Amino acid sequence: MQQTNPIQARQKSLGIFHIIGGVIVAGLLFGAGLMVGQGKIRVGGVPNNPSTRQLSNQIDYNGLDEVYSALRDNYDGNLTNQQVLDGLKHGLAGSTKDPYTEYMSATEAEQFQNDLQGTISGVGARLEKDAEGRIVVVAPLEGSPAQAAGLRAKDVIAAVDGKTTAGMTATEAVLKIRGKKGTKVTLTIVRNQAEQLEMTITRDTIHIPSVTSKMLANGVGYLQVSQFSDDTDELANKAAQKLVADGAQSIVLDLRDNPGGEVVSAVNLSSLWLSKGTAVVEQRKGTTVVRQDRAIGGDILQGKKTVVLLNGGSASASEIVALALRDKAGARIIGEKSYGKGVVQQLIQFDDDSSLKVTVGKWYSPNGTNIDKKGIMPDQEVKISEADSKAQNDTQLTAAQEYLK
């Protein structure tokens, strides 16, 4: 394996899935040399995480060598050294049994960054891998080909172009679905655990503005953040300034179907409401606090009565913001229980432009709450029925406006 320079790392809350984006392979958890040929793999470096220090610096790979030899001598098909190496990396990351720890080749890492930047080519649906290992739709994007085709939240994608998704990671399924604008992809869907459907969808370029805003009635400013991407800080700041200039007396922050993104963007968004130095989120390994993020100032919306809208597609960085604003700014949360992703990933970039996305700890709210696999229960639960959805009757937004009157 190629040895890294001092590792370039960025903290991510990295959402529960990728918007139809790159496939991910897998990689060594420690940037180090790989020595083979003497019955052992030597992994250099000392792990920073005490929980993994039981892993030896020398791993007996005789059994692996036997499998490799048997595969080389007996496999009836084309197999390159690179494919074998990619498979080894995949297995190393897969050994964590963590759905959020994944390795990305250079191409895949570039696609992943494109997702964060908000421009993709595909059908426009957010995906996740559920606890049963199925590829599930969290939500189709507004105005996307997926939405036009009738794809719904909680639909299970059983196959892509006839190939089963069983055993795939979410990002492997994503790559199968993603493709050039104008080409078609056929999805086999299982709905409500029984009904099976096939949808053929024409791919298109999907532009995802991470921030939109507008004024509503009675001096209510509406700020929607669809994901925490590279431009979110600047766009949210400008939107907040405009809402205040337009006379906003209260704010609806819509984080529904927001899968997360960069922790720094979540902290900076929270800073629109919070004084400089206010605790927003802390990261822990076990019981040890290893990082604490605080508001950076620029509290344009401080003191304004605020509602945060959440639903089952709100995860990770969006949950960080919701809890910080409830804990520290008195915001009211309206909608449905959020997804519940309370872990943090670090994106480690290697010399060959490949990357490893690895879970490095859990995050906690200012009041010490971790919502991993539990989600955030809203202060006021409001559901949107199928009939309301078809009639474009946003009962959750209506409830927020009623509260802010």
Q: Which of 121, 316, 338, 354 is catalytic?
A: 316
Which token pair is 24?
A: 């991910």
Which of the residues 115, 155, 254, 327 is marked catalytic? 327
**Residue 243, C-beta contacts closer than 8 angstroms, at least 6 positions apart:** 213, 215, 221, 223, 251, 301
Mark whether 316 is an active-site residue: yes
Q: Which tokens is 171 given?
A: 């990002």
Residues 108-120 as b/e (b if ≥16 CB within 10 A, e otherwise) read bbebbbbbbebeb
C-alpha 43/C-alpha 35 separation (Å) is 8
Of residues 12, 176, 304, 341, which has the active-site annotation?
341
Query: Which H, E and C letters describe the chain, residue by residue?
Result: CCCCCCCEEEEECCCCCCECCCCCECCCCCCCCEECCCCEEEECCCCCCHHHCCCCCEEECHHHHHHHHHHHHHCCCCCCHHHHHHHHHHHHHHCCCCCCCEEECHHHHHHHHHHHHCEEEECCEEEEECCCCCEEEEEECCCCHHHHHCCCCCCEEEEECCEECCCCCHHHHHHHHCCCCCCEEEEEEEECCCEEEEEEEECEEEECCCEEEEECHHHEEEEEECCECCCHHHHHHHHHHHHHHCCCCEEEEECCCCCCEEHHHHHHHHCCCCCCCCEEEEEEECCEEEEEEECCCCCCCCCCEEEEEECCCCCCHHHHHHHHHHHHHCCEEEECCCCCCCEEEEEEECCCCCEEEEEEEEEECCCCCCCCCCCCCCCEECCCCHHHHHCCCCHHHHHHHHHHC
Q: 369: exposed, middle or buried (C-beta count within 10 Å: 0-12, 13-18, 19+)? A: middle
Catalytic residues: 316, 327, 341
